[in-house]
Amino acid sequence: MQYFNRKALVALVVLLLADALIACFCIYRSHPSSSVAPQEKGAARWRVAAITDSLYGGASTVHIRDAPQRSLSFDFRLSGAIANPWASAALRIGGADGKTVAEDLSKYSTVTFLAKCVPANSLLLILTLVDGRVTKPGGKPVYLPVMTYFSCNEQGMPVSLDLTRLTIPDWWYEAEHVDISRRSYELDHVTKLEFGASPFSPREADSHVEIADLALHGRDDRYLAALAAVLLAGWCAYGIWFFRAQSRALIATVDARLKKDLSFVAYRQLTVSPVGDEDQAAILRFIATHYPDSELDLERVSAGTGANRNRINDVLKTVLGMTFTGYLKKLRLTEAARLLTDKAAATVAEIARSVGYANCSYFNKVFKEEYGCSPTQFRTRRQLSQPRTTLKQSTDIPVNFCTQENFGDKR
């Protein structure tokens, strides 16, 4: 059992380490994150572009500044030339050929950044999507803008915006003849992100905006579900292996103990087989026939055989190499093992009394100490083992008292 315990401990440590590594991987992958970094000219992905109202008669201006990676810096000035002026810096998603493409960002649900502006301002974040429900097959793409406001000041403010709860402007429904009750959208075809002036931005005034540490974040519960499945499967496999291996180890322990007790299983033959010393035969015969007496002790053996206490102990040590107490215990427990196998209708308490144990709890304790399993467990193994063998003959020792498929309770 000590070898099994060491093996089980090593397996447990390996399982815990494997679970920790898998958990770290799955948790990391369940929270996808991607930086939105404007690239240099000629590179793919995000490209910076200035957007103004000049095509509609406005005079607003935008000037893009050089900025570190994952940052966007620009100046803008809103003009009052038209009723609704606008100016923004856009991050377009494009390929190396310079063409704007749509990208699936549906795995992301949040955008975070640090916003700094001079003067303090209320700006707009606008995502432009290709609306597949409005775009006709083979026709020109219909673009859907979704937006939300955020604040910024001279010191810089951390901003976190939910990309799944952006607002569709009312003018778009009229322009595209879409039912105004449809408020949902998908982030599977995103073409650009814009940071620009809002209706609350100052007009005819120079404004400066810096957007730093721009990143997209999401949540993919499939990895968490996979983690739960892997953990469940791993611990179930460990549990099955543990109980089967423990059962095999227990069987081996019981078999080893039973093999040591061959001489005690054969106690009936000792009562009839001739021995060289008549005193020895009388002592062994008396113990073999009176062991069911719970009051049996050296005094009673001495009175029944006429031998003194020292002579009795000398005989037992010479013949069996044990003391009276040790031999009596072995004799009773070995007979109890036979009765547990042969007398299925008898209760454990009845068998305990029949072999000299008046106290059933004490009998359970000493039986388990001797054989490594409780009387109930021992009986279950024997009843379910096939083919069934018995202990009625002195040499008829079962190879297995327990089967790994029937690992029962342990007392």
pTM for the whole structure: 0.55
CA 80 to chain centre: 62
User: For residue 162, what is the enclosing H or E element?
Assistant: strand 157-162
CA 17 to chain centre: 11
pLDDT at 274: 45
pLDDT at 1: 66
| Sequence-ordered list of residues with C-beta below 8 angstroms from that of 157, at least 6 positions apart, any chain | 114, 115, 116, 151
pLDDT at 276: 52
User: For residue 144, what is the enclosing H or E element?
Assistant: strand 143-152
pLDDT at 397: 33
Q: Which residue type is seen at 134? A: V
**Does residue 280 sit in helix, strand or coil?**
helix
Architecture of domain 261-406 in this structure: Orthogonal Bundle (1.10)
Architecture of domain 33-219 in this structure: Sandwich (2.60)
pLDDT at 405: 37
pLDDT at 64: 92
pLDDT per residue of the chain (411 residues) written in tens, 0 to 9 = 677 788 888 888 998 999 999 999 888 888 888 888 775 444 447 888 899 998 888 999 999 988 777 789 999 999 988 888 999 999 988 765 667 788 889 889 999 999 999 999 999 999 999 988 888 887 888 899 999 999 999 999 999 999 999 999 988 998 888 888 888 899 989 999 999 999 899 989 999 999 998 999 998 888 889 999 999 999 999 899 888 888 777 777 766 665 555 544 444 444 444 445 677 888 888 888 888 888 888 888 888 888 888 888 888 888 778 888 888 888 888 888 888 888 888 899 999 999 999 899 999 999 988 888 888 888 887 666 534 444 444 334 333 344 333 333 333
Domain with CATH 2.60.120.430 in the chain: 33-219
Taking CA 31 as the corner, what is the angle to CA 235 and CA 15, rounded to the nearest 5 degrees? 20
Rounded distance between C-alpha atoms, residue 68 and residue 148, angstroms: 25
Q: How many CA atoms lie within 13 A of 86 on its CB side?
A: 17
Domain with CATH 1.10.10.60 in the chain: 261-406
Asked if 98 contacts 205 with a C-beta cutoff of 8 angstroms, the reply is: no
